[in-house]
């Protein structure tokens, strides 16, 4: 999908993108970064941040493969997340103990999820993927060979369903 976005501010230039990605969580950011790696430009559209306490998450060692594919693994290792070699879980029974020695994909990570998201957003911005804060999609209309996305009062997007040629 080709798109261009323009702010109502006439001093803000119109920029063309191939793909609009709604949601700048890990999935959206990964999609935008993979598209960028394939030579397609993407823009990330995210709701205004609602800060809420996030207790952290645990990732299996399988997180390494997708982060390596995105070129974010070294940043993840340096981010201060805790690497652990045994985990226990209990679901109304005796704790189930699992050692990373028996896992092909390596140790578990206790992750500061806010820091993880922040680092992914930084990595996307470093690859020239813009992140636009918008409250929501107000409407989509077809205009000859393009789509017009009304996001909120300041921002609109112009999108064409045919991707331009890869660089
Ligand atoms: C309480 C809890 C604990 C969890 N613990 C773990 C764990 O320990 N380990 C683990 O691996 N996983 C865990 N998960 C799951 C993990 O958080 C999700 O799998 C992961 O966040 C999914 O990433 P995502 O990018 O698909 O979605 P999200 O992280 O939810 O990101 C989606 C983004 O899209 C934005 N968005 C949505 N709609 C729109 C819209 N219309 N316009 C613009 N932006 C929009 C949202 O604001 C959000 O930022 C947990 C989830 C919860 C709720």
Regarding the beta carbon of 66 and ligand 1, being less than 6 Å apart is answered no
Ligand 1 centre and the CA of 31: distance in Å? 14
Three-class SS of residue 112? Answer: coil
pTM of the model: 0.86
From the CA of 27, give the closest atom in ligand 1.
25
Distance CA 7, CA 152 (A): 10
For residue 160, the cross-strand partners are 2
Per-residue pLDDT of the chain (167 residues; tens, 9 = 90+): 444 454 444 444 445 677 889 999 999 999 999 999 999 888 899 988 776 777 689 999 999 999 999 999 999 999 999 999 998 889 898 999 989 888 888 999 999 999 999 999 999 999 999 998 888 888 887 777 666 777 876 566 666 665 555 55
Regarding the beta carbon of 147 and ligand 1, being less than 6 Å apart is answered no
The phi and psi torsions of 162 (rounded to 5 degrees) equal -100, 120
- CATH superfamily membership of 1-56+114-161: FAD/NAD(P)-binding domain (3.50.50.60)
Distance CA 18, CA 4 (A): 8
The pLDDT score that the predictor gives to residue 15 is 55
């Amino acid at each position: 999908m080709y798109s261009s976005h323009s702010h109502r501010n006439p001093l803000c230039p119109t920029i063309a993108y191939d793909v609009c990605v709604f949601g700048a969580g890990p999935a959206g950011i990964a999609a935008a970064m993979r598209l960028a790696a394939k030579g397609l430009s993407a823009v990330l559209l995210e709701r205004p941040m609602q800060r809420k306490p996030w207790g952290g998450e645990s990732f299996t060692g399988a997180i390494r493969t997708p982060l390596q594919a995105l070129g974010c693994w070294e940043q993840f290792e340096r981010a201060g997340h805790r690497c652990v070699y045994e985990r226990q879980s209990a679901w109304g029974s005796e704790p189930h103990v699992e050692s990373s020695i028996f896992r092909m994909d390596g140790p578990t990570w206790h992750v500061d999820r806010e820091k993880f998201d922040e680092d992914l957003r930084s990595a996307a911005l470093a690859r020239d993927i813009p992140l636009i804060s918008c409250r929501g999609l107000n409407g989509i209309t077809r205009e000859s060979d393009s789509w017009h996305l009304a996001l909120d009062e300041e921002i609109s997007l112009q999108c064409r369903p045919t991707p331009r040629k890869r660089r």
